[in-house]
Amino acid sequence: MDILLITFGALFSIMNPLGTVPIFVSLTQKNEPKERGKIAFWTGFNVLIILFLSFFAGKYILIFFGISINSLKIAGGLIIASSGFALLTGKFAEHKGMEGKKIKEDVNTRSEISLTPLAIPMIAGPGTISLLITYNEQYQKLADVGFLLTAMVLAGVSVYLVLKSSHYIVKTIGASGINALSRIIGFIVIAIGVEYILSAVLNVIAGL
C-alpha cells in the first residue's frame, strides 16, 4: 500500500496536471463543455498508455543503448529537479516548450491536442518516463507491480478529473491560486529529483 501511495504522489507531483490547467483552458476555450470533457478523457487515456509503455518497455531501451540504472537515476533526477525549478519559478510552460508565438499558433491549429502537446510533453514528459523505468528495475514482485499499475491508473484518472474541471478550477481559485499550488508542488518535485540523484551516487560509491 505504501508503494501505491508513494508512486501516485510522485507521479502526480512530477506530471503536475494542475500546471497544465491554464494551458488546457486557453486551448479549449472555444469548445463546448462536452468537447472539453472528451479532450480531457483522451488526454488522461493517452497519459496512461505512455505510463504503461514507459514502465514495461523502458528497460529494453536501456539495454539497447547500454545505459545503467544508476546513470538513468542521475539523468532522470536532473530532469525531475529541473521540472521542479520550472514550477517553482513559474516557468513551467517555457520548460515544456510551450512558449513562443509560432508554437502556440501551431498548437491552436491542431484538431487533436490530447496526445500532443497535452499528454506529451506537457504531462508525461521525460521525468515521468525515467521515474517509471527506475521503478521497473526496483520493484519485481508481482504484488509491487500490481500496486504500481494501480497508481498509474489513478494518476491517469486524476489527470482526466483535473482537466475536466479545469475551467471550474480557474474560476474558483484563479491563475494566482494555480501558480501558488504549482510552486508548492515544484518544491516537492525538486526533492524527488535530488533523492534519485543521491540514491544513484550512493549506489555507485558502494560499488567501488
pLDDT digits (tens, 9 = 90+) for 50-105: 999 999 998 888 888 888 888 888 888 888 888 788 877 776 556 555 555 544 45
Average pLDDT of the segment spanning 1-12: 91
- Residue-wise pLDDT for 142-151, tens only, equals 999 999 999 9
Annotate the chain with three-state secondary structure: CHHHHHHHHHHHHHHCHHHHHHHHHHHCCCCCHHHHHHHHHHHHHHHHHHHHHHHHHHHHHHHHHCCCHHHHHHHHHHHHHHHHHHHHCCCHHHHCCCCCHHHHHHHHCCCCCHHHHHHHHHHCCHHHHHHHHHHHHHCCCHHHHHHHHHHHHHHHHHHHHHHHCHHHHHHHHHHHHHHHHHHHHHHHHHHHHHHHHHHHHHHHHHCC
**pTM of this structure:** 0.77
Q: How many structural domains does the chain have?
A: 1
Say what the pLDDT of residue 92 is. 59
Residue 140 pLDDT > 60, yes or no? yes
Q: Which domain holds residue 181?
A: 2-206
